[in-house]
């Protein structure tokens, strides 16, 4: 396979002024989905919860049951029962902004895309079921806004095709979200090594229970996370039972951010804290050393704290000459010596 996303997709972009991608803190989307129970008040309460949990964005789903299932039937009835009223979207978007959390929604048809465009969503979220809906993908990509592309039920040809469409429309601000469309998803089924296949521009649409898979995804380079949440797991509806309740959502966001912080730097070095607390040895005079004296191995001891010359130079200073007197048990520093220590 010749496709190389690290060469075809942007390395980093912004969503509502927040950096997303390489060297940026994870971007966490609290997925309200259909868990608002067709109540505006509940939808706003979910936005409150997302803001209190310090999620970066809150997301709903915007679809029309009669478009998805024009023939009616059981699935039509299910989707109709959890449909978000498009007329509510401007109010919900404004309310989210007032709570300083970005508002998003997965659009399932072209008219829903237009609704989201009018309220100025900062990014377009493509649901896994719509990644292969190429006309809809074109409608989203042409807007030029960042694309969060879930890949559940997709193979690599589907993913490549979707990326090619976005790139063809000049939109390279795309995050590929590893996703398995199973609810809930067993941890062992998350297939997080796909993140390596996706390379730099990666995210994780997390349908597992708990935090374990998300922490592993952080370590593998995921930069965008999506997680369902609810006010009450016991509420009636198709998505409540596997979603996080408010306190768990707060812990989820904090855990992801802390895991990212733990990654730290790739440069191996002594930290400022290690230096401050002397958690490393230095070179000391094992006995009194006189100016002009040639240093021998018997003159040098490795002791704590890490003052003076680093312990790794114990052999390097043997044979050098003392430039001045050094008292017994005093640290030895480079100005105390003459000669080439290389």
Mean pLDDT of 24-41: 97
Per-residue pLDDT reduced to its tens digit, 224-239: 999 999 999 999 999 9
Tell me: do 258 and 277 sit in the same domain: no
Please give the DSSP secondary-structure letter assigned to residue 230: -
Q: At which of 263, 288, 306 does a domain end?
A: 263
Provide the domain count of the chain.
2
Q: How far apart are CA 239 and CA 229, in angstroms?
A: 9
For residue 90, give its domain range: 10-263
Are 187 and 209 part of one and the same domain? yes
> Does some domain include residue 2?
no
Residue 50 included in any domain: yes
pLDDT value at residue 5: 55
Q: Are residues 44 and 63 in the same domain?
A: yes
Cα separation values, 168 from 12, 69, 215, 315, Å: 19, 30, 34, 62
Do 112 and 236 lie in one domain? The reply is: yes
SS3 call for 325: coil
**Mean pLDDT of the region 169-184:** 96
pLDDT at position 3 is 55
342 lies in a domain?
A: no
Q: How many CA atoms lie within 13 A of 113 on its CB side?
A: 20
**Does one domain contain both 202 and 290?**
no
pLDDT for residue 144 is more than 90? yes
Is residue 1 a part of any domain in this protein? no
| pLDDT for the residue numbered 22 | 87
In this prediction, residue 279 carries a pLDDT of 65
Distance CA 204, CA 293 (A): 65
Q: Are residues 249 and 291 in the same domain?
A: no
Residue pLDDT, tens place only, 46-102: 999 999 999 999 999 999 999 999 999 999 999 999 999 999 999 999 999 999 999
Do 234 and 85 share a domain, yes or no? yes
* Banded model confidence at residue 280, pLDDT cuts 50, 70, 90: confident
Tell me the H-state helices in the chain: 5-8, 40-52, 65-68, 74-81, 89-98, 110-119, 134-141, 156-168, 194-198, 212-219, 246-263, 272-276
326 and 199 within one domain: no
Burial 141-153 (b: 16+ CB within 10 A, else e): bebebbbbbbbbe
Residues 194 and 290 in one domain: no
Q: Is residue 122 part of a domain?
A: yes
In the three-class reduction of DSSP (H, G, I as helix; E, B as strand; rest coil), residue 199 is classed as coil
The crossing angle, in degrees rounded to 10, of helices 40-52 and 89-98 is: 30
| Domain termination residue (choose one: 231, 246, 263) | 263
Cα(286)–Cα(301) distance, integer angstroms: 5
Domain boundary among 263, 296, 311: 263
The answer to whether residue 164 is domain-embedded is: yes
Residue 204 pLDDT greater than 70, yes or no? yes
Establish if 5 belongs to a structural domain: no
Domain annotation covers residue 199:
yes
Among residues of the chain, what percentage have pLDDT more than 70?
96
Which conformational region is residue 177 in: left (phi greater than 0), alpha (psi within -120 to 50 degrees), or beta?
Answer: beta
184 and 58 within one domain: yes
pLDDT tens digits, 2-12: 555 555 788 89
Contact 321, 293 (CB under 8 A): yes
The SS3 call for residue 263 is: helix
Contact by Cβ (8 Å): 141, 166 = yes
Q: What is the CATH number of the domain that holds 310?
A: 3.90.1210.10
Are 201 and 164 part of one and the same domain?
yes
On whether both 250 and 276 belong to a single domain, the answer is no
pLDDT (0 to 100) of residue 281: 87
Q: How does the average pLDDT of the chain come out, rounded?
A: 94
| pLDDT digit string, tens, across residues 300-335 | 999 988 889 999 999 999 999 999 999 999 999 999
Q: What CATH number is associated with residue 78? A: 3.20.20.70
**What are the distances in angstroms from CA 245 to CA 211, 231, 308?**
13, 6, 54
């Amino acid at each position: 396979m010749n496709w190389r996303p690290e060469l075809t997709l942007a390395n980093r972009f912004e969503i509502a002024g927040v950096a997303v991608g390489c060297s940026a803190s994870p971007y966490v989307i609290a997925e309200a989905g259909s868990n608002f129970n067709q109540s505006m008040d509940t939808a706003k309460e979910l936005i409150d919860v997302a803001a209190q949990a310090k999620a970066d964005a809150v997301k709903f789903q915007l679809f029309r049951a009669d478009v998805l299932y024009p023939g009616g039937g059981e699935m039509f009835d299910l989707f109709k029962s959890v449909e978000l009223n498009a007329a509510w979207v401007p109010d919900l978007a404004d309310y989210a902004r007032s709570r300083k959390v970005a508002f998003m929604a997965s659009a399932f048809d072209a008219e829903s895309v237009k609704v989201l465009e009018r309220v100025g969503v900062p990014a377009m979220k493509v649901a896994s079921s719509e990644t292969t809906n190429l006309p809809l993908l074109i409608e989203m990509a042409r807007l030029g806004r960042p694309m969060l592309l879930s890949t559940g039920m997709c193979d690599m040809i589907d993913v490549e095709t979707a990326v090619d469409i976005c790139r063809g429309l000049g939109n390279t601000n795309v995050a590929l979200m590893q996703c398995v469309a199973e609810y809930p998803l067993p941890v062992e089924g998350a297939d997080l090594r796909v993140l390596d296949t996706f390379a730099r521009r990666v995210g994780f649409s997390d349908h597992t229970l708990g935090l374990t898979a998300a922490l592993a995804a952080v370590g593998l380079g995921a930069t965008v996370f999506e997680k369902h949440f609810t006010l009450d797991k016991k509420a009636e509806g198709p998505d409540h039972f596997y979603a996080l309740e408010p306190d768990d959502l707060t812990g989820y966001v904090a855990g992801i951010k802390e895991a990212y912080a733990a990654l730290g730097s790739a440069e191996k070095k002594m930290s400022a804290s290690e230096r401050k607390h002397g958690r490393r040895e230095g070179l000391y005079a094992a006995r009194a050393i006189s100016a002009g004296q040639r240093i021998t191995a018997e003159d040098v001891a490795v002791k704590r704290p890490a003052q003076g010359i680093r312990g790794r130079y114990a052999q390097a200073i043997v044979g050098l000459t003392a430039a001045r007197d050094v008292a017994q048990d005093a640290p030895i520093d480079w100005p105390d010596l003459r000669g080439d220590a290389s």
